[in-house]
Chain A
């Protein structure tokens, strides 16, 4: 009997290992024309790993993208939840295990994740120039073609564009702070109503603060500069530690993530919050989470403007079908649907001037935001993402030099 069990186990292992043989040479895909690629995707299943923390984004993906790619291209798009670290963990584990057919094909990434995936050679490409709809993207725009100071080099397809913005409730703060000095004065007057989230968003705010301490919106541009970082971050931690007694919970702890910040703002525990996509005001006011007196505003020295991207894993099973899906996701129709103010409300990555006239008209005539600030209104305050090392170091130092102090 035991022999039988051992035999079954060996058979299972053998079967599993057979399944991990790669189906075809993916290098050939890079030289194939789009028509051939496009024809080969019918009936294929593509797995997309994305952050699922926003109901409007989930709604857009589940009720628009999935049925449309199925109907138009016969591609079965499946979603799994995961962002930054999870994606990197997955890619690392699969590489370690020698898995040549990943359980994920497309990943939604930017910045550090792009940097990390590139550093472990886990992204496939370049594929961007293959996609017909990439013609509508303006690659001369450095906010599109550079991801955290790294040229994207066709290894990821830009999907959305947004800018970080400060958010306040007009009934609680007449003149919201827009510089570090003003913020210090504000929290001393209103203790407990401000905090820094210990996550991607909070660290992005820290980058804006770092740039301000550097003296200009462009002070962090260029490759990572250790000396500059040590000097500026020293000043930043001095500022934070000197003032954290006036933070939420007297700075003894910090919210773990953005959803908690949103809750604190909605509850009235904090008066000022912040976030990407121009602060996310439109969606949260429309859904009733924030009061309709909520407004987004710029930080005087500027806030980070960046794009987010879609990449294909180097061991993705269905690279051709993944390209098909990404090409659709950057199409004028999908981007128009994504930009709907009462939907996902996400700025298009496309350069509207490059689009056919009918789409130009559609984009121009689309109803705008009711509550949120427009991306154009923030454009003069836009700062480029600094090199990814800044973020990685800020994460670590925020923990060791602020949280654990």
Chain B
């Protein structure tokens, strides 16, 4: 009976989780080689050559990776700092509610808020104008659609940081870090030694898989970079969708080439992450 229900679960997982993904991936591969597609004429390497030669995809990949890394660094670092400094206050219902609220905000809304707050005609620009700090909108610094992706990083951080606060809080309790810290201090460890040797290693070791998964998630984010990013370079998903929806129908296959390369890289990363059984990885 147990075997049967396991088989059914596996069957459903394959049907819902694997088949559509595999079908879409197969479709993208065929499209990228010109085998399918209304305006394509048959097998060709032309689209692959064009994507590799232009270098735009790789630039975009690097750009996305840097943004995802910086956003995660700020979010994880910020969350660790909050847990370290304000753990007790977070136990209070009201504060914890406020700090977890951004978790419920969809990406597109976070992007819209960021735009309204930080654009040159936005909320802070108006305050700065009324306080006499700036005389024209042009003088307000570029914080959205900007060259350094400040807007994207801000929005990513708004969404991701509360998640890590929540996660670290749970790990902190479950792994009894407080007790271990007291013990370390009783054995003569200084405060910063407790942080470096007890607090950080336990929290990071138990959550690194989720941190890497979040990196992959941010790498492929769409709405936030679409609204807050520049027109070039663009983050991966924005670039791929742009290529697939372009007016020149003969070049749509280039979008599928980019999608295939991206999928292969992310899948390989995921396999490398999960294949060797990591003990102690924190699972939620």
Contact = CB atoms under 8 A, between A and B. Distances in A.
Interface stretch (B36-44, B99-107, B197-205): B36-44
A92 B38 CA distance: 6
A253 B232 CA distance: 7
Contacts of B226: 256
Contacts of B4: 1
A404 B121 CA distance: 25
Interface in B87-144: 119-122, 137-138, 142
A9 B15 CA distance: 10
A5 B11 CA distance: 9
A151 interface: no
Contacts of B15: 5, 9
B247 A404 contact: no
A116 interface: yes
B246 interface: yes
B170 interface: no
A391 interface: yes
A392 B147 contact: no
Contacts of B207: none
A268 B121 contact: yes
B7 interface: yes
Interface in B67-93: none
Given A9-B15, A403-B232, A404-B232, A269 B247 contact: no
A51 to B, nearest CB: 14
Interface residues of B, number: 32
Contacts of B142: 249
Interface string B227-264: 00011110000000000111111000000000000000
B213 interface: no
B232 A192 contact: no
Given A89-B245, A120-B249, A403 B7 contact: no
Contacts of A89: 244-245
B181 interface: no
B32 interface: no
B246 A395 contact: yes
A191 B38 CA distance: 46
Interface stretch (A80-88, A155-163, A332-340): A80-88
A65 B36 CA distance: 39
B230 A253 contact: yes
B interface majority secondary structure: loop
Contacts of A88: 249
Contacts of A268: 121, 137
Interface in B1-50: 4, 7-8, 11-12, 15, 36-39
A interface majority secondary structure: helix
Contact of B56 (A264, A396, A404): A404
A403 B56 CA distance: 12
A333 B272 CA distance: 66
Contacts of B146: 249, 252-253
Given A120-B249, A392-B248, A263 B8 contact: no
Given A191-B138, A404-B56, A120 B38 contact: yes
Nearest to B36: A96
Given A2-B8, A112-B247, A256-B231, A269 B36 contact: no
Nearest to B120: A269
B245 A119 contact: no
A85 B120 CA distance: 30
Contacts of B145: 249, 253, 255
Contacts of A119: 39, 249
A84 B247 contact: yes
A88 B251 CA distance: 14
B242 to A, nearest CB: 9
A126 B115 CA distance: 46
Contacts of A255: 145
A258 interface: no
Interface in A83-115: 84-86, 88-89, 92, 95-96, 112
Interface in A240-259: 249, 252-256
A354 to B, nearest CB: 35
A267 interface: yes
Contacts of A264: 121
B269 to A, nearest CB: 27
A184 B7 CA distance: 70
A269 B37 CA distance: 42
A193 B139 CA distance: 12
A391 B248 CA distance: 10
B11 to A, nearest CB: 6
B137 A391 contact: no
A42 interface: no
A267 B120 contact: yes
Contact of A198 (B122, B231, B233, B245): B231
Given A92-B37, A119-B249, 7 more contacts: A5-B12, A95-B38, A252-B230, A263-B121, A267-B119, A395-B247, A396-B248
Interface of B: 4, 7-8, 11-12, 15, 36-39, 56, 119-122, 137-138, 142, 145-147, 226, 230-233, 244-249
Which 4 pairs, one residue from A and one from B, show the smallest C-beta to C-beta distance? A267-B121, A192-B138, A253-B230, A85-B245
Interface of A: 1-2, 5, 9, 84-86, 88-89, 92, 95-96, 112, 116, 119-120, 191-193, 198, 249, 252-256, 263-264, 266-269, 391-392, 395-396, 399, 403-404
7 contacts: A1-B8, A85-B245, A89-B244, A112-B247, A120-B249, A249-B142, A267-B119
